[in-house]
């Protein structure tokens, strides 16, 4: 194991941030993540849990906000439904420099809280 990260997000607070800053979703989420949330009646919990995963991934890589762009880390689902992370840009370079072969991800959310654990291996 190279690193582990954990993060939680208040869904209501995150939803309000998205409402106040309409371009926030474009800056934080990949096109694929935004497309995955587009058909949801309430995308708030889905966006919040993905944000938590991005923060947890940065913690697993030992970096903080600003070291990589949040949109360089994307939550994707395998055909089986299991989530995993894809990285690009500086996030991919940081992961490669650390020797990360895979990010294991666990996501959970309710209507009010979202959380993610990421293990970099």
**Taking the model in full, what pTM does it have?**
0.94
DSSP, collapsed to helix, strand or coil, labels residue 108 as strand
CB 116 within 8 A of CB 7: yes
pLDDT under 50 in the chain at which residues? none
Q: Domain limits of the chain?
A: 3-120
Which pLDDT score, from 0 to 100, does residue 105 have? 97
What fold, for 3-120?
Answer: Ribosomal Protein L22; Chain A (3.90.470)
């Amino acid at each position: 194991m190279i690193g582990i990260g954990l993060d939680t997000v208040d869904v209501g607070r995150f939803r309000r941030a998205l409402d106040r800053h309409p371009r926030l979703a474009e800056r934080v989420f990949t096109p694929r993540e935004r497309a995955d949330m587009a058909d949801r009646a309430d995308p708030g919990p889905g966006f919040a849990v993905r944000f938590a995963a991005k923060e947890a991934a940065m913690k697993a890589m030992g970096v903080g906000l600003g070291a990589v762009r949040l949109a360089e880390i994307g939550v994707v689902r395998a055909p089986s439904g299991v989530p995993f992370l894809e990285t690009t840009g500086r996030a991919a370079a940081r992961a490669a420099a650390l020797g990360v072969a895979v990010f294991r991800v666990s996501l959970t959310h309710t209507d009010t809280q979202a959380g993610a654990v990421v293990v970099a291996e």
